[in-house]
A = this chain, B = another copy of it.
Amino acid sequence: MTTTLAAGLACAMPMATRDRVVLGHGSGGKLSNALVRDRFLPHFSSRALEQLGDAAIVPVDRTQIAVSTDTFVVSPLEFPGGNIGTLAVNGTVNDLAMMGALPCYLTAGFVLEEGLPFDVLDRVVAAMSDAARIAGVQLVAGDTKVVERGKGDGMFINTTGIGLMDSEFQPSPIRVAAGDVIIVSGPIGVHGMTILSTREGLEFDGDLTSDTACLYPLVNVLRAATAGEVSALRDPTRGGVASTLNEIAAAAKVGMVIEEDATPIPAPVAGACEMLGLDPLYVANEGSFVGFVPAHRADAAVAALRQHPLGRHACRIGIVVADHPRTVVMRTRMGGTRIVDLLPGDQLPRIC
């Protein structure tokens, strides 16, 4: 399915991508990577930035903090399971948690479009407050700007998070090694398909509700179950599980093999994806992570995750190999294999 999509997008990509921003630059796939590589990195040489992690790790006094920033532009603003405010808190908190940090502080920058109803704003702010309380983070600074009608889309929210690093628990893509087992902590594709079906007014068999959640407690469960032996963690948001695996394979210079049969794709997601010709591996998730653990820790890790409400469907989906570095391969149900590449353009824009 990936190949088909890739071919279709390659043909559809206009010449204008050469000198202008296109939607695919926000997809989390190859165009996003090219934008960062070609437009941003040449100007900024900070070591923290070059790590391209979910968050930067920088020193403060005698300790280290993790810093992460994310702007949320999801359309629609409200959807089953949450709203842009829920996402804005959980998304940034999760980016910190994926670095092994304890999420502590959050800032929020709002861009409001003239005409935004206050009742929408109130629900979003209330959701942020709830999500922050659940995550145990403090909102410490905020900013609000207003743009004219037609110059925004209701509301955009940037959140920047600060977390405390623990010198004894620093999962990182570069620690991933051949032999590690690849785990997902929950079902795949739920958030993205919820947004898409809400946006397009589609109805599918079975309910679709965003899985947006704070993953910090689940990280702690994994840490405890593995005695801290977690090579890497990442939440597969924009670009989905496929993009996350590719990014980590590239950073760690390893190959990966995943089993199609093992990937936990709920029936409504599978059905909706099939109907729309989408590959669930590229669909955004907001309430599950991909974890890499040494093989001897894998059983205990999965068993422990399954005891937690957010990890009930945790499972192994594959392994890290020394062969075919930087390439992710899937063993299909039919017994074949296919390469799971980065998306060349946009599958689902405005998903978070």
Contact = CB atoms under 8 A, between A and B. Distances in A.
Contacts of A49: 139-142
Contacts of A68: 107, 141
A133 to B, nearest CB: 10
A65 B58 CA distance: 13
Given A125-B39, A129-B43, A138-B46, A21 B116 contact: yes
Interface in A98-125: 104-105, 107-119, 121-122, 125
Contacts of A119: 19
Q: Chain A: interface residue count, which band?
A: 35 or more
A162 to B, nearest CB: 7
Output the residue of A21, A69, A126, A144 with the most chain B CB within 10 A.
A21
Contact of A145 (B24, B40, B71): B71
Contact of A110 (B46, B71, B349): B71
Contacts of A146: 21-26, 349
Given A19-B119, A23-B146, A62-B61, A141 B111 contact: no
A156 interface: yes
A300 interface: no
Contacts of A39: 118, 121-122, 125
A8 interface: no
Interface of A: 16, 19-26, 32, 35-36, 39-40, 43-44, 46, 48-49, 55-56, 58, 60-63, 65, 67-73, 75, 104-105, 107-119, 121-122, 125-126, 128-129, 132, 138-148, 150-153, 156, 158, 160, 162, 164, 349-350
